[in-house]
Amino acid sequence: MSTSPVTSSAITVALAAHAPDFSGAVSPSWSSDTDEFLRCVHVRQETHDVKTFVLAADEPRNFRYLPGQFITLELDINGEKINRCYTLSSTPTRPDLVSITVKRVPGGVVSNWLHDHLQPGMVLGAMGPSGEFSCFRQPAQRYLFISGGSGITPLMSMTRALHDLGSDADIVFVHCARTPADLLFPEELTLMARNMPRLRLAMVCDQHTPGSHYAGHLGRMDAARLAHIAPDFLQRDIYTCGPAPFMRVVRELAAGAGYAMERYREESFSFESLPAQVAAEIPGPQDRPELFPADSVPAFQVKLEKMGRSFSCRGDQTILQAAAAADIRLPSSCSSGACGTCKTRKISGQVEMKHAGGIRQREIDQGWILPCCSRPSSDIALER
């Protein structure tokens, strides 16, 4: 196997600063309690709008985390401190570095800043790792990994780890993207599949890219396609990560097929604009703009019965956001599910609600929702 020559002296210097002493003792474990900063040491352009940022501690450190977990980055953007959670796309079996893989979201402050400004040599505040979504918590023999867009990151981390450990786990790895040009890590996945005889890959794209040699599935994930790709999925532990509407489809497919849902796991994320102090309290990656492709999301009708108004709301928008876009002013304050000011009775329809304590379970049971943190998964009628 040939080694790739180091072509840039700048990179040589950066690597030297972070190169562990492979002949010495194992580096101490990284802990955000003591090493609160990570330095960007390398940037990879994965696709036209996705980059991987490789991060290291300034002193040699061993990164210990469960594949699938995330870290929280504290960024200083235009004088404002912003926290964002990013899944580690790297594997702890290569413990000297970590990486995050970020999709540029149109209008997304943080993803655009990372894409435009984060260069090797720069430091970032970091906390974590944390998160529950990992097949290493409950190892199984057979898995179905289903990823949508940059939701591939935790599943990539898990697969990389299983690969490096020489695992003989039986994995069906499904990766869905908009076009073949948006597929992430296709070459590396192919290489891992070659090394792991029981890893099978299935790519699913919404549409073809003209001129691409792509020959995988075309269209959406549905029951027929799932049965075709993984006919034995009822026997597999399912791990899903992707945009909320995508995960909902997968979840409903599984539930509809009589799948034992206690073996179904997905990486949930919700709040887009929580006040910092609330966001800090909620465990889990609340804000992951890399998982929100703005297009290809279904839209639903929201009807306000008393006001006699209707408007359209995309599956990745909150009802409050869509109402504002339609020039309808609903009572609201925190926009994050904490204060309950927007509480409204739902007459019909289904929503996905991720609140922050502004509503009680018994109120939810009685049909109340908080439009500021509810996204539609069907047409909705509200008592407003």
Partner 1 sequence: MTHTISAQSLLTRELLARRRPGYSLEAPFYLSDTVLKADMEHIFGKHWIFVAVEPQIPEAGDYITVDFGTNSILIVRDDDNQVQAFHNVCRHRGSRLCASQQGVVGNIVCPYHQWTYDLSGKLIHAKHMGEDFDPSHLSLKKVHVRNMAGLIFICLAENPPEDFEQMAAEMTPYIAPHQLSQCKVAAQIDIVEDCNWKLTMENNRECYHCVSNHPELTISLYEYGFGYQPDEHNKEGLQRFQDIMAASHKRWEAMGLPSREIDTLDDRITGFRTQRLPIDRSGQSQTMNAEVASKKLLADFVDPALGGLSFWTQPNSWHHFMSDHIVSFTVLPISATKTLVRTTWCVHKDAVEGKDYTKENLTAVWNATNDQDRRLVEESQVGIATGAYEPGPYSPFTEGLVEKFCNWYVKRLSALIP
Segment contacting partner 1 by CB under 8 A, of 58-66, 119-127, 196-204, 333-341: 333-341
For partner 1, the binding residue among 340, 352, 372, 384 (CB under 8 A) is: 340
Side-chain-facing half-sphere of 372: CA atoms under 13 Å: 24
d(CA 249, CA 55): 34
Looking at the Cβ atoms of 346 and 355, the one nearer to partner 1 is 355
Looking at the Cβ atoms of 64 and 360, the one nearer to partner 1 is 360
For partner 1, the binding residue among 52, 134, 336, 374 (CB under 8 A) is: 336
- By CB atoms closer than 10 A (0-12, 13-18, 19+), residue 217 is middle
Segment contacting partner 1 by CB under 8 A, of 57-65, 160-168, 273-281, 372-380: 273-281
For partner 1, the binding residue among 341, 345, 349, 379 (CB under 8 A) is: 341
For partner 1, the binding residue among 360, 367, 378, 383 (CB under 8 A) is: 360
Looking at the Cβ atoms of 35 and 363, the one nearer to partner 1 is 363
Q: Is 338 in the site for partner 1 (CB under 8 A)?
A: yes
Looking at the Cβ atoms of 79 and 211, the one nearer to partner 1 is 79
CB burial of 153-188 (b: ≥16 within 10 Å; e: otherwise) equals bbbbbbbbbbbeeebebbbbbbbbbbbbbbbbbbee
d(CA 140, CA 260): 14
Amino acid in the structure at residue 143: Y
Q: Is 284 in the site for partner 1 (CB under 8 A)?
A: no
Instruction: Give the number of residues in contact with partner 1, rule: CB under 8 A.
Output: 19
Neighbours of 139 (CB within 10 A): 12
Q: Is 374 in the site for partner 1 (CB under 8 A)?
A: no
Q: Is 358 in the site for partner 1 (CB under 8 A)?
A: yes
Segment contacting partner 1 by CB under 8 A, of 192-200, 232-240, 251-259, 354-362: 354-362
**Which region holds residue 79: left if phi is over 0, alpha if psi is between -120 and 50, else beta?**
left
Q: Is 321 in the site for partner 1 (CB under 8 A)?
A: no
Looking at the Cβ atoms of 312 and 341, the one nearer to partner 1 is 341
Q: Is 265 in the site for partner 1 (CB under 8 A)?
A: no
Q: Is 357 in the site for partner 1 (CB under 8 A)?
A: yes
User: How open is the CA angle 277-282-286, to the nearest 5 degrees?
Assistant: 100
d(CA 177, CA 163): 23
d(CA 254, CA 248): 10
For partner 1, the binding residue among 75, 82, 278, 328 (CB under 8 A) is: 278
Strands (E), 113-196: 123-130, 142-148, 170-177
Q: Is 234 in the site for partner 1 (CB under 8 A)?
A: no
Q: Indicate the angle between helix axes 152-164 and 186-195, nearest 10 degrees.
A: 30
Q: Is 127 in the site for partner 1 (CB under 8 A)?
A: no
Least distance in angstroms from the C-beta of 328 to partner 1: 19
Segment contacting partner 1 by CB under 8 A, of 121-129, 203-211, 219-227, 339-347: 339-347
Strand partners, 131: none
d(CA 18, CA 58): 7
Q: Is 359 in the site for partner 1 (CB under 8 A)?
A: yes
Q: Is 333 in the site for partner 1 (CB under 8 A)?
A: yes
For partner 1, the binding residue among 164, 188, 206, 363 (CB under 8 A) is: 363
Tell me the C-alpha to C-alpha distance, in Å, between residue 28 and each of 31, 61, 127, 197, 372: 9, 5, 17, 35, 44
Looking at the Cβ atoms of 276 and 294, the one nearer to partner 1 is 276
Q: Is 204 in the site for partner 1 (CB under 8 A)?
A: no
For binding to partner 1 (CB under 8 A), which residues are involved?
275, 277-278, 281, 333-334, 336, 338-341, 355-360, 362-363
